[in-house]
Amino acid sequence: MKTFPTSAAWCLGILFISVSLITTGSSEVQVVGPADPVVALAGDDIILPCSLKPSVSAEDMVVKWTRVNLTTGNNVHRCRQGRVSNEDQSTSYKGRTSMFNEDLKNGNVSLKLTRVTLSDAGSYRCFIPTLTSQVKETTVQLFPLQHTSHTSKPPTLSHCLCPNIPTTCCSVLIFLLPTVDS
């Protein structure tokens, strides 16, 4: 078996390279966001996901949530060492933002936004300036949708019972029905 030492060397070499790739990869903490945009109905409360990978604690970090491509009013939420630091927060987000303080230790730096409005549509940047790694920010897209329930009313009882006569007449008929029966 003359080839054995050569293949063994190859194996070891490949193993060594993979192990070093894995270890260098995991020592680098990255900010990761969702693969897909967040879609929500206007008026709903939503979560813009963002986390650290691997999941190291963010309790001692500065986390900045900002709007991308807005020249003014782009500060959405800021957290400094686990404390809210929203002195220069955009007025349109006042009282609507929070983070999951009890989950910061797991690297969860997601933003909760309550009562989403159509003007919240856009790109949000989750940025951790204190990270030393290459990937210290990610962008999350938010697509709020208009509620459509008020435009497509469910059919009324009178529509079902008598579709061909005016609704008011039908209502009178329905009102009279029990008395006719008795």
Ligand X SMILES: *[C@@H]1O[C@H](CO)[C@@H](O)[C@H](O)[C@H]1NC(C)=O
Binding site for ligand X (CB under 6 A): 47, 49, 51, 68-69, 100, 103, 108, 110, 123
Between residues 11 and 41, which has the closer beta carbon with respect to ligand X? Answer: 41
Minimal distance in Å, beta carbon 95 to ligand X?
A: 19
The phi, psi pair for 97, rounded to 5°, reads -115, 150
Q: What are the structure tokens assigned to 21, written together?
A: 């790739």
Look up residue 97 and give its amino acid. Answer: T
Between residues 90 and 123, which has the closer beta carbon with respect to ligand X? Answer: 123
Minimal distance in Å, beta carbon 54 to ligand X?
A: 13
Burial 113-138 (b: 16+ CB within 10 A, else e): beebeeebebebbbbbeebeeeebbb
Q: How far apart, in whole angstroms, are the C-alpha atoms of residue 58 and residue 79?
A: 10
Minimal distance in Å, beta carbon 93 to ligand X?
A: 18
Q: How far apart, in whole angstroms, are the C-alpha atoms of residue 15 and residue 143?
A: 45
Minimal distance in Å, beta carbon 105 to ligand X?
A: 11
